[in-house]
Amino acid sequence: MAHRSVAYLQGPSSSWSNKERLRNVRARTTALRMRLNVLGPYTPTLESGREAAEDVIKTGVTAAMAFDDLTAMGVLSRFWELGVQVPEQISLTGCDDVFCAALCSPPLTTVRALTSLAWQNRDRLTSYTAVAVSSSARPTHFACRRCCCSCVDGPKVGSKTGHF
């Protein structure tokens, strides 16, 4: 499935990671000449994801990316109830790679920022030295599972420098 439109399901508006993810999703969709529908904000819960699923369907997109895996799992659950086939009708991706993401049906494709960067920034910020936190590309781990059409041949997990 060639995606021409994508929905980003925002997390809390005060969340730094939500702002960074949205900034990077905007940049990538613009570069790829894709239509972006920004939905939300939603609280990062299963129930909020179930509500977001209805909003995603109304947009007519073929791909959706949730702020976090809990929201994505709620979307996936509601899609199943409504008969929306993932990934045949829509691809779905979460963020954070929580342990239960692989246990969903189908297993949730997800992105996780590598933790070593978080520890480096924590050390810099607590060293009493004025260091600006960069908003450049972050190293990520992409867990390509069956919720994306590009992953339907089987689970593929790999590391890549990403933009989340």
Q: Which residue has the higher pLDDT, 60 or 113?
A: 60
Least confident piece of the model among 15-24, 27-36, 134-143: 134-143
**Mean pLDDT computed over every residue of the chain:** 78
pLDDT band for 148, please (50, 70, 90 cuts).
low
42 or 143: whose pLDDT is higher?
A: 42
Res 71 pLDDT > 80? yes
The CA-CA-CA angle for residues 106, 142, 34, to 5°, reads 85
Compute the C-alpha angle 72/38/4, nearest 5°.
85
The contacts of residue 128 (CB under 8 Å, 6+ apart) are: none
- Mean pLDDT of the 3-11 span: 94
Rounded-to-integer distance, Cα 123 and Cα 143, Å: 27
| Contact predicate 38/61, CB 8 Å | no
Class level of CATH domain 5-162: alpha beta
Q: Model confidence at 96, in pLDDT bands (50, 70, 90)?
A: confident
Which tokens go with 110? Answer: 């997800």
Would the pTM of this model clear 0.85, i.e. be above it?
A: no
Instruction: State how beta strands 91-95 and 5-9 pair.
Output: unpaired
Question: 145's torsion region: left (phi>0), alpha (psi -120 to 50) or beta?
Answer: beta
User: How is the chain split into domains, by residue range?
Assistant: 5-162
Q: Find the farthest-apart pair of alpha carbons in the chain and give their distance in angstroms, rounded.
A: 54
